[in-house]
Structure 1
Amino acid sequence: MSYWRGPLPRTNDLLDPVVVAEDSLGLKRVVCADQEEEDDDVVSEEEPVIGFPAATVWLAAMTFVIAVLSEYVVRTIESASDSWGISVRFSSIILLPIVGNAAEHASTVIFAFKNKLDITLGVALGSATQISMFVVPICVIVAWIMGTHMDLDFNLLETGSFFISVLLTTFTLQDGTSHYMKGLVLLLCYFVIGACFFVL
């Protein structure tokens, strides 16, 4: 792509020039024919695979299936923790989110391979934000209605892990770029938090 001030060049000066537009500075945008085809390919958006009604039906069906499977997982988590020799806290905070968010993890990896960082961060961080800001308070309110003791009085380890993970994620992703070292730092932070819950 090139900009040209003044009269347009002759056809033999450039290979088949095509004038697309003239900007506010009076510069005419001159694009070769083959480059114009490449730009059209880049600008073209991806077409949706399914429509909105079908997506809504699939979302409702998958939500129902996941709710049923989650009920089975919650019922067996205590017996599984006893048989494996690990604490219920470690199973529910470290292992259960890995299995429960497997679909979100897969989608973030797929979008990351397609170099769509904004969607990747939206899925990964949006899920954690929804859990901390919506799901946990709703669970406390529902438990209060059902007469079950549940509050937001977390222990020192849970509060410290939450604070450190949010702080580290903010400082790691605030510049809007990504490379392997940032991913390694976040993975090591997750392993350290998992080791703390496993030991304590």
Structure 2
Amino acid sequence: MSSWVDLAFTEPWLYGTITVFVVAAGVLFLGMKFLGRMIAARQLAKAHPPNARKLSSEDFEALCCRTGLSRAEIARLYFTFMTVTEGESHDSAEKIIEELPYFEGPLQDRMISALKLPEEIDFVILASALSVFSERAALDDKMRFLFRLYSSELTGSVSKQDFTGAGCGVEQVTPGAFHV
């Protein structure tokens, strides 16, 4: 007497068995995809108030093109922005820089001037300013940002005091050695 497993893999039943496995795998895949989107939407809804404007697919694509950040990076940044601003579409740059976990450290107080942020910012301005941290950002943009970050005056040069004052401990730098 043969078992149902032997019967399922014999010639007349083999194609039906393969079809059942393929359909079951497809249903499982679609179910997991739907469940993942539902969980992501629920997480975003926690930080996003129901009456505020949500980012559409076109908004994501435009920000991806403008900033060089990936869709996942923009989604994480948007979630964090909405959490910090408590669902508001804009807030003061000082509050956002202080509360975003990305800027913790000794140079936090210089970030607003280095990123050239206005007093009130929205998500698009923040994402555009943070594009300098993208691996796809132009090297010139990154260098300009670093000089603005380390320069205590707005002269476009980095002095020895700027480096030692920022806690870098560089002693061989001569004043005015670097210029924008």
Task: Classify the TM-score, shorter chain.
Answer: under 0.3
- Structure scoring higher RCO (CA < 8 A, sep ≥ 6) equals 2
Structure showing the higher helix proportion among its residues: 1
- The TM-score normalised by the length of structure 1 is 0.21
